[in-house]
Amino acid sequence: MVNRGQLKAIWAFYKHYSVSSILFTLFCAWLFWEYDALFQIMFIKLATGWLIWYFIISFHSQKLFYYYNLHVHKRTLWGGYFFIDFFVLFFILVTIRFLK
Amino acid sequence: MSSDTLLAENIFFSVASKDILKGVTTRADKGIITGLLGRNGSGKSTMLQAMYGTLKVQECSVFTNGTLINASYAKAGLVNYLPQNSFLPVDLTLNSIVRQFAIDLAIVFAYFPDLKDDLNKKIGALSGGKERLWSVLLLLLAKTRFTLLDEPFTHIMPLHIDQLKLLLTEMKHKKGIIITDHNYRHLLDVSDRVYLMKDGKSIYIRDYSDLVLHGYLRHLDE
């Protein structure tokens, strides 16, 4: 079970590394607005998600100890990160669908 | 004093067909500071990270008071680990981090009164030495039963090191502590037992002369 402190840590982790993923999400939103390309959007999000994960574990692995020291399991940390990321994407896509 | 032990047994780790750790065992006990010495690449950090559960090794069993555990770092209140390099997010203020780790600032300021001015600063605005000191303090004062410190004295100025050694001596009554550091004099000052990592094994050090005997030091200075 994830406690409040761990949730705060996951949120801090997402905020810290969110810039690139939000840029990719905005690109996906544009694709959806222009072309309705849902399959391509999912592929781009998965591929860029893997890239972000690879970048962080390759070049920022020491920084992850901050979250480990708050007793957040690796699975929970990354699961939380991608949950928020996909939730933001889903929210934007639904909003676009509504506006169109 | 109640006994409380974190034990990492039979740690095997090799990379690119080179054996780094050959079935080494280490333990942290409440009331005792364990010092680990060893040359660069001797496997000190690897061993601590295997014990902490963040590094995948070929073999390692971690027990707390006889109970086998996986991913010890993810067990709330069990163990924390200071890595060799900076791990605090540069965009957060010390205040927010202190709240997150729920440490008692009264203890910090009793030992380090000059740190009071840092609280509203972001980590990125601290000097390397202050950032290192705060990292050690956060983990040492966090409510965990064990703390693993990888080079805690690095970058810290001598006046602060003296205070830190006093704090370590006090905190060992509340938790088990393992320290590695190349500043062997400081490490020997605070450690109750010392091991030397050599050839993938750990060797118990009885006194300073053993460090010469096993080739860690060329000679004893005094």
Q: Do B89 and A63 touch (CB under 8 A)?
A: yes
Structural element, H or E, at residue A99: helix A74-99
Domain ranges in chain A? 4-99
CATH topology of domain B5-213: Rossmann fold (3.40.50)
Q: How far is B71 from chain A (nearest CA, A)?
A: 8
* A71 reaches B (C-beta below 8 A): yes
B220 and A CB contact within 8 Å? no
Q: Which region, left, alpha or beta, applies to residue B215 given φ > 0 means left and ψ of -120 to 50 means alpha? A: left
ipTM, two decimals: 0.94
The arithmetic mean of pLDDT across residues B13-37, rounded, is 94
The verdict on a CB contact (< 8 Å) between B86 and A62 is yes
Cα–Cα distance between A14 and B91 in angstroms, integer? Answer: 13
Chain A residues in contact with B74 (beta carbon < 8 A): 68, 71-74, 76
Mark which residues 26-65 of A lie under 8 Å from B by CB.
Answer: 62-65
Domain ranges of chain B: 5-213
Query: Per-residue pLDDT tens for A47-98?
Result: 999 999 999 999 999 999 999 999 999 999 999 999 999 999 999 999 999 9
pLDDT digits (tens, 9 = 90+) for B141-175: 999 999 999 999 999 999 999 999 999 999 999 99
What pLDDT, on the 0 to 100 scale, is given for residue B222?
55
Flag if A65 and B87 touch (Cβ within 8 Å): yes
DSSP A71: T
Instruction: Say what the pLDDT of residue B35 is.
Output: 97
